[in-house]
Copies of this chain bind each other. A is one copy, B any other.
Amino acid sequence: MSARLYLEDLFIGQRFRAGPVEVTAEAIKAFAAQFDPQPFHLDENAARDSLFGELVASGWHTAALTMRMLTESAPFAGGVIGTGGRLEWPRPVRSGDRLAVESEILEIVPSRSRPDRGAVKIRTITSNQRGEAVQILTARVIAFARPKP
């Protein structure tokens, strides 16, 4: 983990990378059993009759793995704290896929009412081992200003 980044350390176009992490069939099924128990996330045979035709990860599993990689790669002081954003899942994640993330800061807006912080728009693209995007997240996160001495 590198030095903590404060609002003043961030710039538009700044990038953060992490991964790859492999997504196993076991992990897909374990996440699904807990949070998204649908046949195409739970069982290879049942998945054959679905839209996907094979076992695929819950989009929320992809999102959770992306968050893990984001916390490992974007060392914001005070943490990576999101208030919302947009999610796109252009294609599914399959078992054996290796996912990596690349994040880019798109916008930095210092708060007018609270001088100790700002809002940062950051786009995180999660890609598989073929370089295909499986998730595009554009999130608003809080960045804290460096404490005054």
Contact = CB atoms under 8 A, between A and B. Distances in A.
Interface stretch (A6-14, A79-87, A101-109, A123-131): A79-87
A59 interface: yes
Contact of A78 (B37, B51, B85, B86): B51
A63 interface: yes
Nearest to A79: B38
Total copies of this chain within the assembly: 2
Given A34-B64, A35-B65, A89 B83 contact: yes
A54 interface: no
A131 B40 CA distance: 33
Contacts of A60: 60, 63-64, 67
A68 interface: yes
Point out which of A31, A34, A60, A83 has the most chain B C-beta atoms below 10 A from its C-beta.
Answer: A60
Contacts of A58: 64, 67
A79 B67 contact: no
Contacts of A34: 64, 68
Given A78-B50, A86-B86, A142-B51, A68 B35 contact: yes
Nearest to A61: B64
Interface of A: 31, 34-40, 50-51, 58-60, 63-65, 67-68, 71, 78-89, 142
